[in-house]
Structure 1
Amino acid sequence: MLSYLIEKEFKQLFRNSFLPRLILLFPCMLLIVFPWAATLEVQDVRLAIIDQDHSQTSRRLIQQIEASRYFRFQHMAVSYEEALQAIEKDQIDIILQIPIDFEKEQILGKPAEVQIAANAINGMKGNLGSSYLAQIINRQSDTTSIRYLYNPHLDYKHYMVPALMTMMLFLICGFLPALNIVSEKENGTIEQINVTPVNKVVFTLSKLIPYWLIGFFVLSIAMLLAWLIYGLVPASSLSTIYIGAGIFIFLVSGVGITISNYSSTLQQAMFVTWFFVIIMLLMSGLFTPVGSMPEWAQSIAAFNPLKYFVEFIRMVYLKGSSLAEVGKPLGCLLGFGILFNIWAVWSYRKQQ
């Protein structure tokens, strides 16, 4: 009985000319466009420099700044007032003022201070631009060596791409099952199942298994694109990723079925699902670290399943963590998955 119901689901899926194309195009567009659009890197910061020292040390510092890919040198200002006017006209973003005796202070072993003034209307650009500039200045006068582990070039795309796989699986394996069942309610085709002796467990599995298979297929496409476009390959084994993804797909498909059981119309299912999508994505650590959120938000995020899969896939993809090292997030995902799938079976009513 279950095999016939699964066959029916796939036939119904491929009978729709739009959904198979969406399943193929969605991961492609998400991984090609989103990492470039949702980057927190700041480049081409427009910079004006006021060199009051005119020494060999200050010229060497200016050359190092000009060689950086983060800055676009605009002009050498004569005075701070001139540079400030350029900021007011939106011609530059940051002012660097190198004071008199800059080289002398360094030779004497004293801290050589410079002034950085940033346009903070765009707070992120001003903050990160100032931080990049301070790092270049500190490297010239300091012998400290910094080594970045797991993402040595601080490429934000390497940080985003694995997490985008979480978003992709959540939307495809959670959103589509909910819409599929509710559309059957509206069309009346689900009544044909309701008059059969198919029990709730078999019915729920017949709705989940096709999307489990689709989820693995889409994940494979995403990992292939991550390798072809960004040169990003998992630092750990593929089996670890597929095991974690299987648990996550099991979880989110159960969430989708649960939502569909409480939705009477397609519009209602879309609004409810989209509400949970927005909240869960924003509080998952996908865009900003959960540790940077207020304590009350971190407490809420502890009940967000997406948080644990984002943590899992970044640990496996970038750090190369083994299955034993990601036991905690996988255990949380499995617990949520069992809870939501039991809820999905319990909440299904054949008279719907």
Structure 2
Amino acid sequence: MTAQTPDSPTSPAPGTAEQLLRPHAEQAFAAELAALAAADDRPRPPRWALSPWAVATYLLGGTLPGGHVITPKYVGPRRLVEVAVATLATDRALLLLGVPGTAKTWVSEHLAAAVSGSSTLLVQGTAGTAEEAVRYGWNYARLLAEGPSPAALVPSPVMTAMREGRLARVEELTRIPSDVQDALITVLSEKVLPVPELGTEVQAVQGFNVIATANDRDRGVNELSSALRRRFNTVVLPLPASFEDEVDIVSRRVESMGRALALPELPAAAEEIRRVVTVFRELRAGATSDGRTSLKSPSGTLSTAEAISVVTAGLALAAHFGDGVLRAGDVAAGIVGAVVRDPVTDRVAWTEYLEVVARERDGWGDFYRACREVSG
């Protein structure tokens, strides 16, 4: 058999979803979106690629009449997803709120992909985000040569979404300075973006809306003004309600990321995934799962996203430096790094967990020894 090279005819073309390290939602799940569009016979709001029912099905998963299986992108209360989708069908913007690692960005991206067919109209919020990122900027070479003109104007993702009737995403809204946040007020209330330099304005066409995300932990950083908060319907995304739900989420995302990173398929990963999730949930709750032992909680969030990162890193270790089976030693360093953020208080909490819980738990001897080795 001839070895397949990157230039072989059977290799995916550069830039295709198969070769991209992190394809956009609309690329990775193009087949599911197409199947939903073909089967979707329900009313669609103007310029929506799918009906609200089909958008919710895309997020939550299901089986279409023709037998096509839609994989769940979000595991959680169905009503939360329905409220989020219904909000986007009104003139109210949507704010996804929650602690870090509760899939706010993930849900935002998939909502935009399902509603608008594209998730790329994105404003990434940081302390340095300027007003131009929300409103518009200028091509300064043309501005100096020609003066203010439509050709010299550089539209923001929000302005583009208004013109085209699509969804714009604003990530980490509360990280953006307050004066820049307030540039959204006129956009969300009047559905218009003035361009005084040109004596004109951009009016939003049907289909336009905004999805923003914010972390509970960022309260007090750049708190939303009451005027801006009134323009949003807020949906709070909780941590996974049950142990099995969280295991399911971690397993699905790790499998997906493993394929993207070209990691070999590893057997017997389920046991370590369940152990990582157990550790994170018990430390978050401040008690063991049976409720018999109280624990100190560390300062970090120990979110589902961090559990996914720990397991994925462990898979890479097992694949490249181990025997191909995910073991306690492969996830130990990742867990310690996730838990011990503060070298003083977190180390006390972690040491207590190891000695009081892990050391005494049946079948956890390998995990205890591996964690003690990397904890120093």
Where is the helix percentage greater, Structure 1 or Structure 2? 1
Q: Higher relative contact order by CA 8 Å / sep ≥ 6: 1 or 2?
A: 1
Asked if Structure 1 and Structure 2 have the same fold, meaning a TM-score greater than 0.5 normalized by the shorter chain, the answer is no
Larger radius of gyration: 1
